[in-house]
Amino acid sequence: MPNNGALPGAAESYWMSSTDSTRFAPLTADVTVDVAVVGGGIAGLSAAWEAAESGRSVAVVEADRIAAGVSGYTTAKLTAQHGLIYERLLRTRGPQGARTNAARSALGGRVTRTTISAAQRLLARHSPTGA
C-alpha cells in the first residue's frame, strides 16, 4: 500500500497525548517560599525537586501548563554522547572543553535517573493500588 514515504501513525508527542493536562488555579495572593522556580519544564521541575528534597519550601511558577513547553515534545533520551556537539566543542573549546561537557552530561544523566527513580517511588506510595 503506497504511503508516499510517510511514517505510519499520528505525528504527535507521546508525552502530550498519553497524559492528562495539568490545571492549577492562578496565583491570587503573594506566597513566601525559600525557592521560586520560574518555568515548569524538565529544568524547572528538576530544580524544584532538588530544592524540595533538601528541605526547602518551593513554588513553581508556570505561565502556561506544566511540562507542555519543549519538554512535552522531547524524545527524552539520556545520553552524554551528542556527536554533533562534540564535533563543535572540539573545534571551539579543544579536547578539555569536550571532556568537561562529557563529564557534566554524564553527571546530569545520573542525577536525572536518580530523580526519576525517586519520583516513581513517590508515585507508587501515593497510587491507590500501590502500583
**Is the distance from CB of 67 to CB of 40 less than 8 angstroms?**
yes
Left, alpha or beta for 78 (phi > 0: left; psi -120 to 50: alpha)? beta
CA–CA dist 98, 59 (Å, integer) = 35
To the nearest whole angstrom, how small is the minimum distance from the Cβ of residue 50 to ligand FAD?
Answer: 14
Q: Of the two residues 78 and 123, which places its CB atom closer to ligand FAD in the complex?
A: 78
Scanning 4-12, 24-32, 41-49, 121-129 for contacts with ligand FAD by CB under 6 A, the matching segment is 41-49
- Distance between CA atoms of 61 and 9, rounded to whole angstroms? 35
Site for ligand FAD in 49-78 (CB under 6 A): 61-64, 68-71, 73-77
What's the residue count for the chain?
Answer: 131
44 binds ligand FAD (CB under 6 A): yes
Residues forming contacts to ligand FAD in the complex (CB under 6 A) are 38-44, 61-64, 68-71, 73-77
